[in-house]
Amino acid sequence: MDERAVTLNELAQGLRPPAQGLAWFEGLAEDEQGDVLRMLREFCVQARATAEDASEGIRRSGLRPTHTPSVLILAGRFDEQLGKVVALRPRHERIKAFRLLIEVLGLADARRRERYCADGCGHEWHQLGRSTA
């Protein structure tokens, strides 16, 4: 798992403070931010995120339901809408998209972990934060 994947998973799992993640994301160049958002989209799809996760993610992220990423993610087929959220261009919208997708990933991954990985698994991202001692 590369450094970005570790960072995103630690944020989604609550192992890093949201403010730290936001500062990291804001410090990236525009093309790097796009790469991170596309990676988050892929992780959300792999974790089987749903429109219900999106609704709760909006609430947890602190975004208003009228913010562009909030409106987009709920406006149609979830997988297609994720792509539209990731494609947002103005910097302030990318930052909102990042906040939202971290929360959506956290919700979907927590559900996946509870249902399928509760008795252990080989997913590297589910081993983050565990003591090796």
- Which residue is associated with the tokens 């934060």? 129
Cβ atoms of 4 and 34 within 8 Å: the answer is no
Q: Judge contact between 33 and 98, C-beta under 8 A.
A: yes
Q: What is the mean pLDDT of the chain?
A: 91
Asked if residues 125 and 8 have their Cβ atoms less than 8 Å apart, the reply is no
Q: How far apart are CA 20 and CA 71, in angstroms?
A: 26
- Note the pLDDT of residue 125: 58
Handedness of CA 124, 103, 100, 44 (dihedral sign): positive
CB 58 within 8 A of CB 65: yes
DSSP structural state of residue 125: G
| pLDDT for res 131 | 44
- Domain coordinates of the chain in residue numbers? 3-112
CA distance 12 to 26: 17
Could you read off the pLDDT of 18-47 as tens digits, one per residue?
999 999 999 999 999 999 999 999 999 999
- E strand spans, the chain: none
- The confidence score (pLDDT) of residue 117 equals 74
Asked if the model's pLDDT at residue 115 lies above 90, the reply is: no
Tens-digit pLDDT profile for residues 76-102? 999 999 999 999 999 999 999 999 999
